[in-house]
Amino acid sequence: MHPAVFIGAAVSLGCLFALQEWISSRFWNYQIHLGLLLQAWGVQYFIWGVICWVIWWKLNPQINNATLRTMLTFFLPLSIAVGVFEEMIWILIFPTLPHGRPPMPYWRRLAFVLDGEMIDNIVLFWCAFFLFRGLGYYQRFREKERAESQLQSQLVQAQMRALRMQLNPHFLFNTMNGISSLMRSDVQAADLMLEQLSRLLRITLHRGEAQFITLSDEMEFIEMYLAMQDRRFAGRVRQQMSIDPHLHDAIVPTMILQPIVENAYAHGLSKLNSEGLLHIEATADGSRLCLSVTNNGLGLHLTPPNGKSKGVGLTNVQDRLRMHYGDNHSFSITEIKNNTVQVIVTLPLQLSERPIEKSTRYGVS
């Protein structure tokens, strides 16, 4: 906040006290000039306004994070020192005060004033302390509320993008063509492909607005998506999944892998006529969860530069990771060897409180 806010508020409060004392003096029949009172109270609270601004400017983080021990060992002595310091300045500015008393040396006047106002000064300091702490709580609450709102918006957009991908006319056209062809040669396979398409769409809709799911649920979605792609690119792309069984309960953002896998097919594997390879891996490195997607498509240098969907998909992944984890994550896309691209995401490893008991087909090539 601007220093004028502190100084203006403090001086206004000092003027009110001056007016109150002037009214009291008239009630008790002793004379004191209103101008002198306004000067004395105004200057005193001007000093307090400056002090409060300096405290806010320099110590606001320490105030918001202060423990009881910090309050007792640091801020309590500081409140006493600030109270004495403020009175030393005030007495220097008004050498004729206290009013109605015989002239006194500086240190004697300081001791006289502190005897009557030291407690008030300490109370003022701690009022400012808890006011700043309350403002800190309020600011963090608003920031958290704003971040959650943005996160919710990002999640909805990701879900909408996934729906659009699945409802993409080209994707559905090819899928339905594949189903139609299988109907003539393998009715059972065509029925399975149609069922997978239906489940893929239904799961996307039923997940609703959940922000996090288990890795098991995420891989179930990816597994069905890969099954669809496997039939579209029959014989051209080999799929591998290597998921540490201990990580089935790991918590991950909803649909965090799907845009990466989609990008691998759209800009790499779909261009190959044979011997394509997609490898998905989930491992733990201490307290970190590492997810990687590797493909041997075109490589980074041959990827079409105008691939707009690639930019949107991976940018969305990075935006969501940043909103969920701040700086406590990493995202990288590199060409590890000729035409082989690897995307690696690392997150804090968090496990669900309710272990997943169902088995999956993870690890099956």
Local structure of residue 18 (DSSP, 8 states): H
Is residue 281 over pLDDT 90?
yes
Give residue 190's pLDDT: 77
Portions of the chain given CATH number 3.30.565.10: 167-301+312-351
The stretch 125-141 carries a mean pLDDT of 90
Structure tokens at 31: 């004379």
* Residue whose tokens read 């240190």: 107
**Within 10 A of 340 (CB to CB), how many other CB atoms are there?**
17
Residue 308 · residue 270 · CB < 8 Å: no
Give residue 162's pLDDT: 63
Residue 320 · residue 221 · CB < 8 Å: no
Is residue 302 over pLDDT 60?
no
The stretch 88-116 carries a mean pLDDT of 77
The stretch 127-137 carries a mean pLDDT of 90
Residue 197 · residue 168 · CB < 8 Å: no
Based on C-alpha coordinates, what's the Rg of the chain?
A: 34
Cα first-last separation, the chain: 60
The CATH architecture one would assign to domain 167-301+312-351 is 2-Layer Sandwich (3.30)
The stretch 24-45 carries a mean pLDDT of 78
More confident residue, 150 or 250: 250
Distance CA 32, CA 42 (A): 16
Residue 293 · residue 339 · CB < 8 Å: no
Note the pLDDT tens digit of each residue in 204-255: 777 766 778 899 988 988 888 888 788 777 778 999 999 998 899 999 988 8
Which residue type, as a one-letter code, is found at position 138? Y
Give residue 320's pLDDT: 81
Give residues with Cβ within 8 angstroms of 342, minimum separation 6.
292, 293, 294, 333, 334, 335, 336
Give residues with Cβ within 8 angstroms of 192, minimum separation 6.
none
Give residue 24's pLDDT: 79
Task: Identify any residues that bridge with 337 across adjacent strands, giving them in sequence order.
Answer: 340
Give residue 307's pLDDT: 43
**Within 10 A of 295 (CB to CB), how many other CB atoms are there?**
26
Please state, rounded to an integer, the average pLDDT across all residues of the chain. Answer: 81
Give residue 347's pLDDT: 94
More confident residue, 173 or 59: 59
Q: Name which of 8-22, 168-182, 287-301 the model is least confident about.
A: 168-182
Residue 18 · residue 46 · CB < 8 Å: no
Is residue 167 over pLDDT 50?
no
Q: Where are the beta strands (DSSP E) in the chain?
A: 212-214, 237-243, 251-253, 276-285, 288-295, 330-337, 340-348
Is residue 29 over pLDDT 50?
yes
Residue 341 · residue 267 · CB < 8 Å: no
Residue 6 · residue 49 · CB < 8 Å: yes
The stretch 169-186 carries a mean pLDDT of 69
C-alpha torsion angle, residues 128, 133, 136, 138 (rounded to 10): -100
Q: Name which of 16-25, 118-127, 355-364 the model is least confident about.
A: 355-364
